[in-house]
Amino acid sequence: MSNPSNFPKELSGHRALVTGGTRGIGAAVAQRLLDADAKVVVVARKADKDMPAGATFVSGDVSTSAGVQAIAKEALAALGGLDILVNNAGGARAFLEGSWTIPDEAWDDSFTLNLQAAIRLTNALLPALRESKAAAVVNISSAAASMPFGPFVHYGAAKAALEYYSRTLALELAPGIRVNVVSPGVIATPGSDEFARTTPGFSTDAWLQLLPLGRIGATEDVAEVVALLVSDRGKFLTGANYRVDGGMTAR
């Protein structure tokens, strides 16, 4: 990656909100937007040591309607408006025994966090986005949405629904607001590293067998694509899904 000091300040004056922005992919996205001179609010239930120092932290729970409304209110107060929304919060527990072992509550939780949270927050912030002259929404999906995988089928199904929602929203909101999806594959994050260390059959070496480019992705790989999509460089991009997965889903 380039030295952050060399990044163009192409987002100067832009105001951004990144959910799940205190660690992993979300923190890298927030930092990349800060490097481009955006004003950034990151949202999570609690702060983290990896949170970008230049971001404003808002504590909140995106899995409830009340939590989303509180987040929207506090973020808009801190930013004074909104130009960029990155719905990154997500995740799910693996059920290694197979899809039939996933209980109803795990399905419900996955769709609430990985789909409904993005819908609720987008709806809550839509008036502010409509006032922007350079509005862009990026929803973070996953390669799991297009690769059937029993232990994470509840997660992949929710992300597939997020992708369908995003395409529809892109058509509804054009030309004023651009909406795109970024779908990471195997990315080195604290969560994925822990999963690889502790789960039989899912070591780093096992994942590498699925990656034509021969390496695990970095969070900065995802952040760079998001930065493109929300900047003026991406002004003719909407309704698309950008797979940052080292070629994994090209097989």
Residue 146: alpha-carbon gap to chain centroid: 16
How far is the CA of 61 from the CAs of 71, 118, 214, in angstroms? 8, 12, 37
- What is the tens place of the pLDDT at every residue in 92-107? 999 999 999 999 999 9
Q: Is the dihedral of CA 137, 138, 140, 146 positive or negative?
A: positive
242 annotated active-site: no
38 compared with 6, residue with greater pLDDT: 38
pLDDT tens string 211-245: 999 999 999 999 999 999 999 999 999 999 999 99
In a domain? residue 71: yes
**Per-residue pLDDT band at 36 (split at 50, 70, 90):** very high
pLDDT, position 1: 45
| 165, 118 Cβ separation under 8 angstroms | yes
Assigned domain for 151 exists: yes
Residue 140 backbone phi and psi in degrees, to 5 = -90, 115
The count of structural domains within the chain is 1
What is the pTM (predicted TM-score) of this model? Answer: 0.95
22 belongs to a structural domain: yes
Longest dimension (CA), the chain: 50
Q: What are phi and psi of 83, to 5 degrees?
A: -120, -30
19 lies in some domain: yes
Give the CATH number for residue 162.
3.40.50.720
Quick count: other Cβ atoms within 10 Å of Cβ 59? 14
Q: How far is CA 196 from CA 126, 190, 199, in A?
A: 38, 10, 6
Residue type, 49: K
Quick check: is 205 in a domain? no
Q: How confident is the model at residue 3 (pLDDT cuts 50, 70, 90)?
A: low
**Where in the sequence is the domain holding 170, given as residue range(s)?**
4-188+218-244
Tell me whether residue 110 is in a domain: yes
Q: Is residue 74 part of a domain?
A: yes
Helix residue spans in the chain (DSSP H): 24-35, 65-79, 104-111, 117-131, 153-173, 190-198, 204-208, 219-230
**Of 155, 164, 165, 242, which is the active-site residue?**
155
pLDDT at 172 over 60: yes
Contact 93, 191 (CB under 8 A): no
CA 168 – CA 165 distance, rounded (Å): 5
Tell me whether residue 207 is in a domain: no
